[in-house]
Structure 1
Amino acid sequence: MNKKQGIIIATLLVLIVCAGVLATKLNSPLYVNGDDSSGTKSSAVSFNNTDKKNSKTTFFDEAKLTREQKNAQTLQTLKTLIDDKNISKENKDEATKKYTELAMSTNYESKIETTLKGKGYEDVLCSIEESGKARVIVKGKDKLTDKDTREIKNVVMGIAKIQEVEIEVKQ
C-alpha cells in the first residue's frame, strides 16, 4: 500500500466516524425530561406544533415514547442484575423471568398495534400489564361498534393470548 492509498483510507475512516456521530446526534430523543445541571426541573422539549391537529396525535406519540424509554430502562436494569456475579441464583432466575416477560410483552404490544393499524384504525396504543390484562387505546371520534370491539379483542387474543382486554377511544 502506498502513501496515497493510506491517506484515502484514513480520510474514509474519518468520514465514517463523522457520519456515525451525526447519526447518533440526529437520532437522539426529541423529548428531554429530568433535572438540568442547575438542579431545576426542565420541561419536556418537543418539536411538534401545539395546534389542535398535532396535539391529538401527540398523545399517542408521547405515550409510545415514554413506554419505550421506560421499557428500555427496565430491561437494562434487569440485564445488569442478570449479569451481576454477586447476585444469588434465585434472584438471577427471577430477573431472567421478568426480563423475558417484559421483552415478550413489548413484542406483543408492537404486533397488536401494527395489526390494528393494518385493519384501518388510525392510531393505536397497546399496553400489556403484569396482571395479565391488555389495555388498548384507539384513536377515533365515535364509540366503537360491537364488531370493532370483537375484532380488537380477537387480535389481542390471537397475538398475546390475553382474554381480559380493556378498550378505550381517544380523540
Structure 2
Amino acid sequence: MNKKQGVIIVVLLALIVCFGILATKLNADLDYVAGNDMPNGKSAISINDSSKKNSSSNFFQEQQIIRDNKEAQALQTLKSLMDDEHTSKEDKAEISKKYSKLALAGPKQSQIETVLKGKDYEDALCYIQEKKVTIIVKSPKELTEEQKKQIQEVVMDVTQIRDVEIERKE
C-alpha cells in the first residue's frame, strides 16, 4: 500500500466517523420532533418552553452539525478539484495537502471535545484552523486560569497547536 492509498483510507475512515456522529445527532433530533419524549412526561411543546440550559445544549449540538456540514462540503469541493483533469499537478498536490489536513481535523476536534467533557465541562465545541484552535466550553461561571491552562494542554496534546482561543458559553 502506497502513501496515497493510506491517505485515502484515513480520509474515508474520518468521513465514516463524521457521518456516524451526524446521523446519531440527526436521529436524536428526529425523536425530539416526533415527540418521543412522552415517556418522560414532557410534550414537544413543553420542551420548547424549557429552561436556558436546554437552549445552550442545542447551541452546541447545532454548531457541531453546522461545522460538520461545512467540513463535508469543503472536503467534497477539494475532492472535485483534485479529480478535475484541468487542475495542474502542482495544484493537485497543494489541494491534496489541504484535503488531508481538513480530513484529519474532524477526528481531532471530536477527540478534544470528548476529553474536555471528561474533565467536567458540560459541553465543548472545537474548531481547528490552520494555526489556531478555538474552544467554546459550557460553564456557568468564568473560567479560572488553571482551567484555561488545562484546556490549552489538552489542545496541545492532540494538535500540537499553541495558539488557543477559549470562549465560555452559559
Q: Same fold (TM over 0.5)?
A: yes
* Correspondence for 2:128: 128
The more displaced of 107-116 and 50-59 is 50-59
CA positional deviation for 1:29 = 8.0
What is the TM-score with the length of structure 1 in the denominator? 0.69
Q: How many residues align?
A: 130
Matched, 1:155 2:154: yes
* Correspondence for 1:91: 91
| CA pair 150-80 structure 1, distance change in 2 beyond 3 A | same
Q: How does 1:69-84 map to 2 (within 5 A)?
A: 69-84=69-84
2: CA distance, partners of 1:88 / 1:146:
49
2: CA distance, partners of 1:115 / 1:153:
12
RMSD over equivalenced CA pairs, Å? 2.1
Greater RCO between the two (CA within 8 Å, min separation 6)? 2
2: CA distance, partners of 1:106 / 1:85:
28
What is the TM-score with the length of structure 2 in the denominator? 0.70
CA positional deviation for 1:28 = 9.5
Q: How does 1:1-171 map to 2 (within 5 A)?
A: 27=23, 30=26, 47=33, 49-50=47-48, 51-52=50-51, 53-130=53-130, 132-171=131-170
Q: Name the amino acid aligned to 1:140.
A: S
**Identical aligned pairs, as a percentage?**
47
**Structure whose alpha-carbon radius of gyration is higher:** 1
Q: Which runs of 5+ in 2 are unaligned?
A: 1-22, 27-31, 34-43
Query: C-alpha deviations, 1:34-84, integer Å up to 9, x for none?
Result: xxxxxxxxxxxx838433232111110110000000000110111111122
Q: Which runs of 5+ in 1 are unaligned?
A: 1-26, 31-45
Query: C-alpha deviations, 1:126-169, integer Å up to 9, x for none?
Result: 11123x11110000111111211111000000110011111111
Which structure: greater helix fraction? Answer: 2
